[in-house]
């Protein structure tokens, strides 16, 4: 069982694409989107995953996370029984200094939203911020994937 510590940011432009070392299409749904325990089904490339996440701490940067790889065929079947609203995105991996940013470009009802996350060893860990990184949205529940499937970005974008 692991504790996930990450910070989340809006992305100002698409310059990150020139720095990406990998891009993977991700489709995911939620068997449970309750904030206390989200249960996610994900297909990332040709692999399936089942992930359980706990509620975040006060800052929203740290929470329990458990993930296991499952057969892609099982993930496809589980996606059919998920709550309404599927998340479709491309994830770009961008190495900046000692960290790897996961930059998600969303499609469908979340088109126009681009978010970057950086995973840290401690909440106060320093990291290099690239020029394309925008406003921090760590802890803003509107930007959680489990909320974007219920209330897509196109309905409320700033």
Q: Kindly tell me the burial class for residue 155, based on how many C-beta atoms sit within 10 Å of its own C-beta (0-12, 13-18, 19 or more).
A: exposed
Q: Kindly tell me the burial class for residue 54, based on how many C-beta atoms sit within 10 Å of its own C-beta (0-12, 13-18, 19 or more).
A: middle
Buried-state track 74-110, b at ≥16 Cβ within 10 A, e below 16: ebeebbeebeebebebbbbebebeebebbbbbbeebb
The set of catalytic residues is 30
Contact 3, 64 (CB under 8 A): yes
CA distance 37 to 51: 10
Contact 32, 52 (CB under 8 A): no
């Amino acid at each position: 069982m692991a504790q996930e510590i990450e910070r989340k940011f809006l992305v100002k432009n698409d310059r990150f694409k020139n720095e990406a070392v990998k891009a993977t299409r991700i489709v995911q749904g939620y068997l449970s989107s309750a904030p206390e325990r989200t249960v996610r089904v994900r297909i990332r490339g040709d692999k399936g995953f089942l992930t359980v996440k706990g509620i975040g701490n006060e800052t929203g940067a740290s929470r329990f996370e458990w993930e296991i790889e499952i057969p892609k065929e099982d993930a496809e079947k589980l996606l059919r029984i998920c709550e309404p609203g599927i998340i479709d995105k491309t994830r770009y991996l961008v190495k900046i200094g000692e960290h790897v940013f996961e930059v998600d470009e969303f499609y469908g009802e979340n088109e126009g939203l681009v978010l970057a996350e950086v995973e840290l060893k401690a909440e106060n860990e320093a990291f290099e911020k690239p020029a394309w990184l925008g406003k921090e949205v760590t802890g803003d529940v509107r930007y959680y994937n489990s909320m974007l499937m219920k209330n897509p970005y196109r309905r409320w974008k700033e």
